[in-house]
């Protein structure tokens, strides 16, 4: 569903499931990544924060905090200048949306 929305909105093809080192051990995998735009996209529905099979013993608040730490680690771990953008989405109609109406990436960023 996310890949269809990315295509319909006219975004460039993303890298999928890019591996990043977790500074506390292990790895993070991002759903979508556009390195030229310094942008990571994650497709997480509400279930990630409320369903027991995803929470694995955590409270919803703990799951949100863990995700915030993950996002901070991903932002800090990049060798890019400036901030790393992160887009989170859940299923939504996209047929009438135009990429620039939704904050779609413009031309790639260049290092300064």
Could you read off the pLDDT tens digit of each residue along the chain, which spans 112 residues?
Answer: 788 888 888 989 999 999 988 999 999 998 888 888 888 888 877 778 888 888 999 999 999 999 888 888 888 766 444 345 555 555 555 444 444 454 555 555 444 3
pTM metric for this prediction: 0.65
Confirm whether 95 is domain-assigned: yes
What range does the domain containing 20 cover? 2-102
Confirm whether 82 is domain-assigned: yes
Confirm whether 108 is domain-assigned: no
Confirm whether 63 is domain-assigned: yes
Q: What is the pLDDT of residue 96?
A: 47
Confirm whether 68 is domain-assigned: yes
Confirm whether 43 is domain-assigned: yes
Confirm whether 111 is domain-assigned: no
CA distances from 95 to 14, 28, 34, 92, 103 (A): 20, 31, 22, 9, 16
Q: What is the pLDDT of residue 19?
A: 93
Q: What is the pLDDT of residue 38?
A: 80
Number of structural domains, the chain?
Answer: 1
């Amino acid at each position: 569903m996310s890949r269809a929305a990315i295509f319909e909105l006219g975004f460039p093809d993303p890298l999928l499931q890019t591996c990043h080192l977790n500074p506390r051990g292990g790895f993070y995998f991002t759903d979508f990544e556009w390195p030229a735009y310094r942008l990571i996209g994650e497709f997480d529905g509400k279930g990630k924060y409320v369903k027991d099979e995803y929470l694995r013993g955590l409270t919803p608040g703990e799951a949100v905090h863990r995700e915030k730490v993950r996002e901070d680690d991903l932002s800090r771990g990049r060798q890019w200048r400036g901030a790393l953008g992160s887009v989170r989405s859940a299923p939504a109609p996209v047929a009438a949306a135009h990429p620039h109406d939704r904050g779609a990436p413009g031309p790639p960023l260049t290092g300064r």
